[in-house]
Amino acid sequence: MRDRLGLAAYLAAVIAATWIHAPAQLGVGLLLVLAVAGRQAPRLARRALLTVLPFLLVLNLSLLALPLAGGGSRAAYLLRTDLRLALIASLSLLLVQRVNLFRALAPWRRLSALLVLATSQIETGRRLLADFRLALASRSLERPGLGLLYRHAGVMGSYFIQRSEAASAELAQALRSRGWDHD
């Protein structure tokens, strides 16, 4: 029951974060999440920042390059968007730390099955990433340079894209063979 309440509180907090537009209130919400995290707050803040930083960089640079629609303040819009994203990422990381999603979704069989599928895909991806890292380490006589790391990351990205394309083609064929051809 505690896990279901935690999941419901998370969903309510995410909805509230999307409705709030005042940067001060979003900042207070972020501080509340860090207060709830307790001693784990620095680690949670670091992980949330590392998680959202690439997206924030792309978003902020693109918003600075484009004219702002509606004539509002660009700085306020960027601050609001950055705080909202940091708040939702922090809430999500706190949820993963504190709530057992398998117990929270146990009453709903289809959601539980979906969670099992997603978890298995995540674990498969983690294992493959670890295998790629070990392969690079075992084939390098010395510490790999930045250029080699970039090439290795490119190969990994290419592999995962090809893998997902093959899996989606196989899934499309399976659905088509079962009569789900709604193009």
Q: In the predicted model, what is the mean pLDDT of residues 47-64?
A: 89
**How much is the pTM?**
0.74
pLDDT above 80 (res 61): yes
Instruction: Identify whether the C-beta of residue 140 lies closer than 8 Å to the C-beta of residue 148.
Output: yes
Q: In the predicted model, what is the mean pLDDT of residues 165-177?
A: 86
Instruction: Identify whether the C-beta of residue 150 lies closer than 8 Å to the C-beta of residue 126.
Output: no
Question: Which structure tokens are listed for 9?
Answer: 């509180």
Distances (CA, A) of 80 to 19, 52, 90, 182: 11, 14, 15, 40
- Structural domain spans, the chain: 2-103, 108-177
At 160, is the secondary structure helix, strand, or coil?
A: helix
Instruction: Identify whether the C-beta of residue 83 lies closer than 8 Å to the C-beta of residue 30.
Output: yes
Going by the DSSP 8-state scheme, the letter that residue 68 receives in this structure is: P
pLDDT digits (tens, 9 = 90+) for 10-20: 999 999 999 99
pLDDT digits (tens, 9 = 90+) for 76-113: 888 999 999 999 999 999 999 999 999 999 999 989 98
